């Protein structure tokens, strides 16, 4: 996006891509439909960026969901809004948009150099033929965060910026799963979704499903709560958000006392499969304390490894950048995307802010 803005401003633009092909994480995002943006009102979307909201707000207002929709449509991609408010291309993948975008950049005179990895200085690159040095008049760094290293965003750039004395916020996983020490009886339920629940952590609660895995829990509901969970808030699971504790007690009291706890739960509450297994795994003496089904506590052993996270927090803080996203200690060098220290839940917000910051950095780099 930065390259497109620079090229449209009449600048000669070179993209140095470390991998043999570009936009690998973008293509990976497209495997689940390419959630480009969200259909919620813009102010509500800006609030999703928490303490970074005021920082990102002018960028999102300059090139936010409305502008991204128009941009995608000019690339031949019709969009639709799903029931959750997430917006996708009709093709439900990234490759058609990427092909059209790369063709546009080529038509604008942008040169894409593959297998060019920035290694040091201002700017030395390892390339198949050896080492090359460039001396650009202006640069936009768009090197990603520190997850999915095999796709290119390995966070190695942090060493080069800290070597220049630029202070960074530590990388942390965001939108990730969490580890759980399951007992053996949970094995048969791995891969199963837990539906119809409300889960909460800290002051956040969400009604959405999550998935049991061999290593723990993951899925949309967990990703939405990943920040308070990462910061140590306990996870609470309400298996029956539409029933009160007294109603649950009443349903169970109607069952014969001679029935096992498992059969009483099945017959009274239709609790079966993975949901039943989760209740038996986490609750104690449910027959005597059925209200536990409204607040199951699942002990977590911490987040999954950062490289497995959908995104990362940390990186270049606002204090290290001017209002134009130029590095204060490196005139002529701008930064955009997941390099910046912001985080947001899944739902279109990750790609929206990446495109918005790329657009902002590109425009200001062209003026510089």
pLDDT tens digits along 129-163: 999 999 999 999 999 999 999 999 999 999 999 99
User: Binning pLDDT at 50, 70 and 90, where does residue 39 land?
Assistant: very high
67-82 confidence digits (pLDDT tens): 999 999 999 999 999 9
How far is 15 from 129, CA to CA, in rounded Å? 17
348-366 confidence digits (pLDDT tens): 999 999 999 999 999 999 9
Q: Are residues 169 and 150 in the same domain?
A: yes
Q: Are residues 52 and 167 in the same domain?
A: yes
pLDDT for the residue numbered 26: 95
Mean pLDDT, the chain, whole residue set:
95
Q: Are residues 291 and 312 in the same domain?
A: no
Residue 287 confidence (pLDDT) above 80: no
Domain that holds residue 52: 2-173+306-367
Q: pTM for this one?
A: 0.93
User: Binning pLDDT at 50, 70 and 90, where does residue 120 land?
Assistant: confident
In angstroms, the Cα distances linking 1 to 146, 290, 355, 360, 362 are: 20, 54, 6, 9, 7
Residue 288 confidence (pLDDT) above 80: no
Q: Are residues 222 and 243 in the same domain?
A: yes
Q: Are residues 163 and 51 in the same domain?
A: yes
192-249 confidence digits (pLDDT tens): 999 999 999 999 999 999 999 999 999 999 999 999 999 999 999 999 999 999 999 9
Find, among 157, 181, 159, 133, the residue nearest to 14 by Cα.
Answer: 133
How far is 201 from 238, CA to CA, in rounded Å? 12
User: Binning pLDDT at 50, 70 and 90, where does residue 368 land?
Assistant: very high
Q: Are residues 287 and 342 in the same domain?
A: no
Of 297, 325, 350, which residue is a domain's last? 297
Q: Are residues 331 and 353 in the same domain?
A: yes
Query: If DSSP codes are grouped into helix, strand and coil, which group holds residue 113?
Result: strand
How far is 212 from 183, CA to CA, in rounded Å? 12
Q: Are residues 7 and 124 in the same domain?
A: yes
Q: Are residues 130 and 114 in the same domain?
A: yes
Residue 168 confidence (pLDDT) above 80: yes
User: Binning pLDDT at 50, 70 and 90, where does residue 346 land?
Assistant: very high
């Amino acid at each position: 996006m930065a390259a497109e803005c620079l090229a449209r401003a009449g600048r000669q633009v070179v993209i140095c891509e470390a991998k043999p092909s570009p936009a690998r994480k973008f293509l990976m995002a497209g495997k689940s439909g390419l959630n480009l943006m969200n259909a919620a009102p813009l102010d509500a979307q800006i609030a999703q960026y928490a303490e970074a909201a005021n920082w990102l707000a002018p960028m999102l207002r300059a090139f936010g969901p409305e502008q991204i929709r128009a941009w995608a449509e000019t690339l031949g991609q019709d969009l639709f809004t799903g029931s959750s408010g997430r917006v996708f291309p009709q093709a439900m993948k990234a490759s058609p948009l990427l092909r059209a975008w790369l063709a546009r950049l080529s038509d604008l005179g942008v040169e894409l150099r593959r297998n060019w990895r920035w290694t040091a200085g201002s700017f030395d690159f390892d390339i198949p033929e050896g080492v090359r040095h460039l001396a650009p008049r202006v640069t936009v760094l768009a090197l990603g965060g520190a997850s999915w290293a095999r796709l290119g965003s390995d966070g190695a750039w942090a060493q080069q910026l800290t070597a220049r004395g630029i202070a960074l916020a530590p990388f942390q996983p965001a939108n990730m799963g969490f580890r759980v020490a399951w007992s053996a009886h949970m094995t048969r339920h791995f891969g199963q979704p837990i539906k119809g629940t409300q889960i909460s952590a800290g002051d956040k609660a969400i009604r959405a499903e999550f998935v049991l895995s061999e290593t723990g829990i993951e899925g949309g509901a967990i990703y939405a709560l990943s920040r308070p969970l990462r910061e140590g808030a306990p996870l609470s699971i309400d298996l029956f958000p539409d029933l009160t504790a007294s109603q649950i007690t009443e349903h169970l009291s109607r069952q014969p006392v001679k029935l096992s706890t498992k059969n009483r739960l099945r017959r009274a509450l239709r609790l079966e499969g993975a949901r039943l297994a989760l209740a038996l795994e986490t609750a104690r003496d449910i027959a005597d304390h059925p209200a536990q089904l409204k607040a199951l506590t699942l002990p977590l052993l911490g987040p999954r490894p950062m490289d497995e996270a959908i995104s990362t927090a940390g990186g270049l803080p606002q204090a290290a950048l001017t209002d134009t996203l130029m590095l204060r200690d490196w005139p002529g060098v701008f930064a955009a995307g997941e390099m910046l220290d912001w985080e947001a839940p899944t739902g279109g917000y990750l790609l929206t802010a990446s495109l918005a910051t790329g657009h902002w950095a590109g425009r200001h780099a062209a003026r510089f």
